Amino acid sequence: MTETNQPKKQVIQINKETGVSTDYINEVMLILGAVFDRYPLGPEKFERMFKLAKEHAPVLKYTQRYSTEKFENVVNDKNRTRIQALDSIVDELNSMLSLDSRDIPHYKVLLHQFSEQMCDEPIKNMLGGKRE
């Protein structure tokens, strides 16, 4: 029970392989949209998407989105290493956003790392399935 005597929620959409919520991918969707390279964005659309991503920054770490005060069994033996990696990637994404970085290749590397930790094949495919 939480301090308000409410039962803790279950984290939704847990990937059986990773123990991580597949819903967490939504945290990076704005950044993903800004750096998405499969369809040419053009500079104006990139700037609009990038501005939107910055307005919604910081990206929440996994442990912030699913706080242990509200959710049950957030970090466990199965997902601990992955969640630490995801939180580290998000720290770097937030640092780049705060510095107003336009280093698209570096964002792509981080997004690939994020998708690998999430085991998210659709996102890997959108990013071209390879690191730059």
pTM: 0.82
Report the alpha-carbon angle 58-24-51, nearest 5: 35
1-42 tens-digit pLDDT: 545 678 999 999 998 889 999 899 888 877 777 766 544 567
Distance CA 60, CA 90 (A): 7
Q: Helix H segments across the chain? A: 29-35, 43-55, 62-65, 80-98, 104-118, 121-126
Length of the chain: 132
Q: Is 100 left (phi over 0), alpha (psi -120 to 50) or beta?
A: left
Q: Residue 40 is encoded by which pair of tokens?
A: 């040419």
Q: Domain residue spans in the chain?
A: 9-126
50-95 tens-digit pLDDT: 888 888 889 999 999 999 999 999 999 999 999 999 999 999 999 9
